[in-house]
Chain A
């Protein structure tokens, strides 16, 4: 009997680790990272994962081993002990240090991504002069680029639904806003998530380092159509970006002769 149950308990770490090792092959791992800070986030994830995996394997194997070894079939009584002060100290101090190490190792990246004091200040786009406003509402994303006056919230704003076009290798700051309920801006490839809070304007920054088309996902339940609320993040070269903006503008001022 104990063979069976010890084996069951032992299967947990074995299969558990195996699925993580194989996950990449099954396409069950991080999507490709394209943002400047995404690599750090993946690194931190992996750092925690290795520390956690070590603990996981040690404790789970110990559990299975004890269940196997200290069976009631053994003659005599069990070890009569109420604990060990020394051991308690050891297994309090070591995890404490490890956990504090984890906590402090995270702070820099967190501050880099979210602290407004660390937002780009010199580039083309800043907190005061964002590339666009991204409006979330049930159940779509709309992007408002400034018109010729360079200011958002005026009559010449250019508005597009669904697709947010940004230039590559540029520090991009945009304002995230919601019209109705809480939504969340999430681009898996950017490793970036930020809730859009009604009544607030939340500046967000990122720097995309690879051109491409990425899904923009709503990550906070926003009603029955939550699953429908998709968008697209299009990262293009700087020249292409200028071209795309010109196209958007041309379409905006179309006289209806072209399609649409």
Chain B
């Protein structure tokens, strides 16, 4: 029996050892993700037939794949006119002459990479090769590093090798496909494979994750234009407070820039799709010329984004009791600020015009819907949570230029810049806590527990 026993046990252990020895590539493979068409494209008409016949849908899908590739291999098709000025959006960090895509300062990237990969760099310097751990979500760097190591046996790793290794990490900027992988691991479950805001987690989030496919992003510095790189970067960097979008500063600057690249690709893909659908509905046919035109048009919008940036010329004034009081007046002034009508006289987001009685059901419903068709409520300003940021300039932009995709309008022309700053200060002051005691007010439940 001993013999049988040890035989079986040995087999089991051998199995285990075998499983551990499996090559990294033979471990579970990365899943294959597909882009699909949006619900608007595949919608059925009243007759139960698709509005856009399936042959045309297939055409759109094919064009999109040609222009943007697949989630495993995303890439921008090059426009002929880019050939001359050497612009290639597939290598965004080297992008020249594209104001919308902007240039990422290589020196800044280098500094950040040094910081981000500090553990790996220290291990390289110390020659502790098994401690150079390259995460799963940087597949291109992992492959490069493995190649480098495979080519040089451990005993032959001299200073030259160390230098090459350092350069690999310090100069890292993800390829679009690597950014797509990072997106898949950390963004897709909310934002969906096409950036449609429809991943598996999305139904449980309030507000819903952003649908990139409209090219509309709410909290930017460019008003209602498509965003600049910086705007998208800022969202990744800061997160959107009050929503389920956290800050992703845990990744390196290069990785976040890579994510921006990929989000831009998804957004453009969605815009081109919408444009093609609109064209088809108009002309009942699509040519390859239409596709390229739509593509070029969308690109133009994104390239112009940088010129749309909205700033304030002058120093941001500091709040005083006086400016806050003036802001209050404007807030309640129906002719000028008229903020109270939606945000409510106390700023609680319960203004009368934000709600309407549904005549059929007799229920009170929010009046407004955003561009994506979701019900939308005015912000409760007393919580001190401002999704686009609580900085004065952020609130200034929201008040002065409105919010893209939602009912928040641009400020009336009769409001001067100073008026807007007063409003900014007033709005900021709404979430102040009484300082004499830590007692109850908004967002401040009770006095601290005695320990």
Are chains A and B touching directly in their complex (CB below 8 angstroms)?
yes
A255 touches B314 (CB 8 A): yes
Known: A251-B391, A255-B314. A260 touches B230 (CB 8 A): yes
Known: A161-B238, A260-B230. A252 touches B445 (CB 8 A): no
Q: CB within 8 Å of B: which residues of A?
A: 1, 4, 27, 115-116, 137-142, 148, 151, 153-156, 159, 161-163, 179, 198-203, 213, 215, 224-225, 228-230, 232, 251-257, 259-260
Residues of A within 8 A of B118 (CB): 213
B324 touches A155 (CB 8 A): yes
Instruction: Report how far A259 CA is from B391 CA in the complex, Å.
Output: 14
Known: A200-B445, A200-B446. A260 touches B244 (CB 8 A): no
Instruction: Report how far A75 CA is from B1 CA in the complex, Å.
Output: 23
Residues of B within 8 A of A162 (CB): 237-239, 247, 249-250
Of B286-294, B343-351, B426-434, the one contacting chain A is B426-434
Max chain A Cβ within 10 angstroms of own Cβ: one of B6, B230, B237, B246:
B246
As a 0/1 sequence over residues 279 to 313 of chain B, the CB contacts with chain A under 8 angstroms (1 = contact) are 00000000000000000000000000000011111
Residues of A within 8 A of B446 (CB): 199-200
Residues of B within 8 A of A202 (CB): 448-449
Q: Which residue of A lies closest to B312 (CB)?
A: A255
Residues of B within 8 A of A200 (CB): 445-446, 448-449
A140 touches B435 (CB 8 A): no
Q: Say yes or no for B39: interface residue by CB 8 A criterion.
A: no
Instruction: Report how far A1 CA is from B3 CA in the complex, Å.
Output: 10
Q: Which residue of B lies closest to A232 (CB)?
A: B249
B241 touches A255 (CB 8 A): no
A139 touches B393 (CB 8 A): no
Q: Which residue of A lies closest to B230 (CB)?
A: A259
Chain A, interface SS category: loop
B392 touches A140 (CB 8 A): no
Of B241, B247, B428, B438, the contact of A155 (CB 8 Å cutoff): B428
Max chain B Cβ within 10 angstroms of own Cβ: one of A155, A224, A253, A260:
A155
Q: Which residue of B lies closest to A230 (CB)?
A: B250
Of B165-173, B270-278, B315-323, the one contacting chain A is B315-323
The smallest C-beta distance from B356 to any residue of chain A, in angstroms, reads: 29
B311 touches A4 (CB 8 A): no
A260 touches B234 (CB 8 A): yes
Known: A202-B448, A255-B316. A139 touches B246 (CB 8 A): yes
Instruction: Report how far A161 CA is from B238 CA in the complex, Å.
Output: 6
Residues of B within 8 A of A179 (CB): 443
B393 touches A255 (CB 8 A): yes
B435 touches A151 (CB 8 A): yes
B249 touches A256 (CB 8 A): no
5 shortest A-B CB distances, which residue pairs? Answer: A153-B433, A199-B445, A256-B311, A162-B247, A201-B448
Q: Which residue of B lies closest to A201 (CB)?
A: B448
Given A1-B2, A155-B324, A162-B249, 4 further pairs, Cβ under 8 A:
A140-B247, A153-B435, A161-B249, A256-B397
Residues of B within 8 A of A224 (CB): 201, 204
B: number of interface residues (CB 8 Å): 54
* Cross-chain pairs A/B with CB under 8 angstroms, 13 sampled: A1-B1, A27-B131, A115-B451, A153-B432, A161-B249, A162-B239, A179-B443, A202-B448, A203-B448, A224-B204, A228-B246, A256-B393, A259-B230
Known: A151-B435, A199-B446, A200-B446. A254 touches B241 (CB 8 A): no
| B1-25 with Cβ < 8 A to chain A | 1-2, 5-6
Q: Which residue of B lies closest to A140 (CB)?
A: B246
Q: Which residue of A lies closest to B426 (CB)?
A: A155
Chain B, interface SS category: loop
Residues of A within 8 A of B444 (CB): 153
Q: Say yes or no for B115: interface residue by CB 8 A criterion.
A: yes
Instruction: Report how far A260 CA is from B397 CA in the complex, Å.
Output: 12
Instruction: Report how far A154 CA is from B319 CA in the complex, Å.
Output: 10
| B221-250 with Cβ < 8 A to chain A | 221, 230, 234, 237-239, 241-242, 244, 246-247, 249-250
Known: A4-B2, A201-B438, A257-B311. A155 touches B391 (CB 8 A): no
Residues of B within 8 A of A139 (CB): 244, 246
Q: Say yes or no for B208: interface residue by CB 8 A criterion.
A: no
Q: Say yes or no for B142: interface residue by CB 8 A criterion.
A: no
Q: CB within 8 Å of A: which residues of B?
A: 1-2, 5-6, 115, 118, 131, 186, 201, 204, 221, 230, 234, 237-239, 241-242, 244, 246-247, 249-250, 309-316, 318-319, 324, 390-393, 396-397, 425, 428-429, 432-433, 435, 438, 443-446, 448-449, 451
Instruction: Report how far A115 CA is from B451 CA in the complex, Å.
Output: 8
B391 touches A255 (CB 8 A): no
Instruction: Report how far A228 CA is from B221 CA in the complex, Å.
Output: 27
Max chain B Cβ within 10 angstroms of own Cβ: one of A4, A148, A161, A251:
A161
Instruction: Report how far A138 CA is from B243 CA in the complex, Å.
Output: 8
The smallest C-beta distance from A30 to any residue of chain B, in angstroms, reads: 16
Residues of A within 8 A of B2 (CB): 1, 4
B239 touches A252 (CB 8 A): no
The smallest C-beta distance from A139 to any residue of chain B, in angstroms, reads: 5
Instruction: Report how far A230 CA is from B246 CA in the complex, Å.
Output: 9
Residues of B within 8 A of A161 (CB): 238-239, 241, 247, 249
The smallest C-beta distance from A22 to any residue of chain B, in angstroms, reads: 13
The smallest C-beta distance from B325 to any residue of chain A, in angstroms, reads: 13
Q: Which residue of B lies closest to A260 (CB)?
A: B234
Residues of B within 8 A of A155 (CB): 319, 324, 425, 428-429, 432
Instruction: Report how far A198 CA is from B238 CA in the complex, Å.
Output: 23
Instruction: Report how far A154 CA is from B313 CA in the complex, Å.
Output: 26
Instruction: Report how far A159 CA is from B312 CA in the complex, Å.
Output: 21
Instruction: Report how far A140 CA is from B240 CA in the complex, Å.
Output: 9
A213 touches B115 (CB 8 A): yes
The smallest C-beta distance from A64 to any residue of chain B, in angstroms, reads: 18
Residues of A within 8 A of B6 (CB): 4
Residues of A within 8 A of B221 (CB): 256, 260
Instruction: Report how far A123 CA is from B444 CA in the complex, Å.
Output: 27
Of A115, A138, A153, A156, the contact of B244 (CB 8 Å cutoff): A138
Q: Which residue of B lies closest to A152 (CB)?
A: B433
A142 touches B131 (CB 8 A): no
Known: A142-B241, A228-B186. A255 touches B247 (CB 8 A): no
Q: Which residue of A lies closest to B186 (CB)?
A: A228
Instruction: Report how far A203 CA is from B390 CA in the complex, Å.
Output: 24
Known: A155-B425, A162-B239, A179-B443. A252 touches B391 (CB 8 A): yes
